[in-house]
Amino acid sequence: MMISTRGRYALRVMIDLAQHTESGYIPMKEVALRQEISLKYLERILPILVKNGLVEGVQGKGGGYRLVRSPKEYTAGEILRLTEGDLAPVSCLSKCAEPCPRSAYCATLPMWSGFFDMTNKYFDGITIEDLSKPRE
Amino acid sequence: MMISTRGRYALRVMIDLAQHTESGYIPMKEVALRQEISLKYLERILPILVKNGLVEGVQGKGGGYRLVRSPKEYTAGEILRLTEGDLAPVSCLSKCAEPCPRSAYCATLPMWSGFFDMTNKYFDGITIEDLSKPRE
DNA sequence: TCAATACCTACCATGTCAATAGGTATTTTG
DNA sequence: CAAAATACCTATTGACATGGTAGGTATTGA
């Protein structure tokens, strides 16, 4: 299990916002209802997206959230890396890991690195616009 | 983080056994020393490999473990799926998950499925023989 | 003034991970 | 036969992450 609900919910919120861009600011209450996700939990995820400049939040009546860029300018990779920390398949490749003394001769490290690269490329090749379209 | 130490250690044990096939049965004590892994922890991982027929274990003095196939006939994918359960990136794709009621219209499911397939193909394309060779 | 909203912090229950502890069963060897 | 070496088994533990919930405060529009 690599992607937790935090990253998955963040993606679904972004998709939901993309599907309602013309409606101005969207309250999370609506998104929570549509997506069947606890509002309280979403309220803990959204600040990550706000602080990193992916969405804009406006308080008060009539407030809510909206995307600050066009949906095609967000990649799934960007959103997942923010909410999940990173997409490293093993701890030694995580950005916050201390350097492994075995790395110079580790037989499996190239395999993990290759997978890591592939993972980032895969998710960076998918935009919120792609995900917002109805499925064929 | 997708792959835990269990899967990583299992791979390293298999590689170590592959690098010492000519020596008959290899005691885990030796592998633990070479790989700098706790013997007690390895002893909890090996039964998984034995029960699934990947390695053979012989008790008693002079005993140990050995591969039952040629190193090129094991894939990293096979070993990881055994020790990690499966390689599903999200819970809804895990084999032991109850069916998700949103699957028919979930906007992100195809992305996760595509990644799941890619993951399995990547690790199924790497054999223990590949990993046993010295790095270039 | 009130309602609706974002935003904030603390808390909690559950499960997994990574390992340790302390054995038993089996086999070879002296 | 005794001892050593090995696989094999089960219970326990501490740390941590996950997936929330609870209970607020701050801000804004009507």
Which pLDDT score is estimated for A96? Answer: 62
What is the token pair recorded at B30? Answer: 């030796």
Cα–Cα distances (Å) from B88 to A12, A131, B93, B122, in that order, read: 19, 20, 6, 13
> Which nucleotide in the DNA or RNA is closest to residue B8, CA to C1'?
C18
Which pLDDT score is estimated for A61? Answer: 93
> Residues in chain A with pLDDT < 50?
none
CATH of the domain at B54: 1.10.10.10
Which pLDDT score is estimated for B102? Answer: 86
Which pLDDT score is estimated for B96? Answer: 62
Which pLDDT score is estimated for B7? Answer: 97
Total structural domains in chain A? 1
The answer to whether some atom of strand D lies closer than 7 Å to the beta carbon of B65 is: yes
CA distance A60 to chain B (A): 30
Segments forming the whole domain that contains residue A109:
5-132
Interchain proximity B110–A2, CB inside 8 Å: no
Q: Residue at minimal CA–C1' distance from C9?
A: A44
Which pLDDT score is estimated for A23? Answer: 83
To 5 degrees, how large is the angle CA B134–CA B23–CA B47? 90
**Beta-strand runs (E) in B14-132:** 55-58, 64-67
Which pLDDT score is estimated for B97? Answer: 66
Interchain proximity A107–B1, CB inside 8 Å: no
Nearest residue, CB atoms, A115 vs list B90, B110, B122: B122
Average pLDDT, 10 consecutive residues per value, chain B (136 residues): 94 97 93 96 97 96 96 98 95 80 91 97 98 84
